Amino acid sequence: MKDIAARIVSSEEERLILVDSEDNQTGFMSKAECHDGDGILHRAFSVFLFDNNGRLLMQRRAAGKRLWPGYWSNSCCSHPREGETMRAAPAPRLQDELQTDSDLEYAYKFSYQARFGDLGSEHELCHVFLGKIGAEPAPNKTEIESFRYLSTDELAQELADRPEDFTPWFKLEWQRLTTEYSRMLSRYTDAR
């Protein structure tokens, strides 16, 4: 059996869920097609996991990723699969990418579009979830190059000093979490 820490969990052929601006499903298209050119709006999610010291688990995207390889981002970013509900989608992806789990709390959803040079774009309607990390992660190297934990102060400093090191969706999500959802966020960032 192939080592779980290196098995392929996502491909350019997987079918993503297309949506309209109100998050109504409109069809399916391959991940490659969704990311070509300016991108086609599809459903996605972002998970922010925190340890018991209130630090955020950050991942550096694998070098083999088509879009934003080697950039720092939130704990897990992915897409629900065909036939999978948004509520159910993050759990298997946390296992696939980090071999961990969490009881997740939904925060909000938003849409964004970001281009990565000539290689394509993200155009997602993204659902954002927060949670406490269940077990120490064991990253899948096809998805995640490395990981680390940052306090909110350390993260604020890095975002100020080197914003170009982070994915565009992470910067948008973190800014909104720290302003509009600060009360919810504090339940995870306050050490317990």
pLDDT recorded at residue 1: 33
- Facing residues of 47 across strands? 76, 129
pLDDT recorded at residue 135: 87
Other CB atoms within 10 Å distance of the CB of residue 46: 27
Other CB atoms within 10 Å distance of the CB of residue 10: 17
> Under CATH, which architecture does the 15-185 domain have?
Alpha-Beta Complex (3.90)
Average pLDDT over residues 53-76: 97
| From 77, 97, 126, 173, the catalytic residue | 77
Residues sharing a CB contact under 8 Å with residue 115, sequence separation 6 or more, in sequence order: 38, 39, 121
Query: Residue 134 — pLDDT band, cuts 50, 70, 90?
Result: confident
| From 97, 122, 124, 173, the catalytic residue | 124
pLDDT recorded at residue 10: 65
> Using CA atoms, how far apart are residues 21 and 42, in angstroms rounded to an integer?
10
The model's pTM: 0.93
pLDDT recorded at residue 8: 54
Active site residue 76: no
The fraction of the chain above a pLDDT of 70, given in percent, is 93
Active site residue 124: yes
Which residue from 144, 103, 134, 129 is spatially nearest to 4, judged by alpha carbons? 144
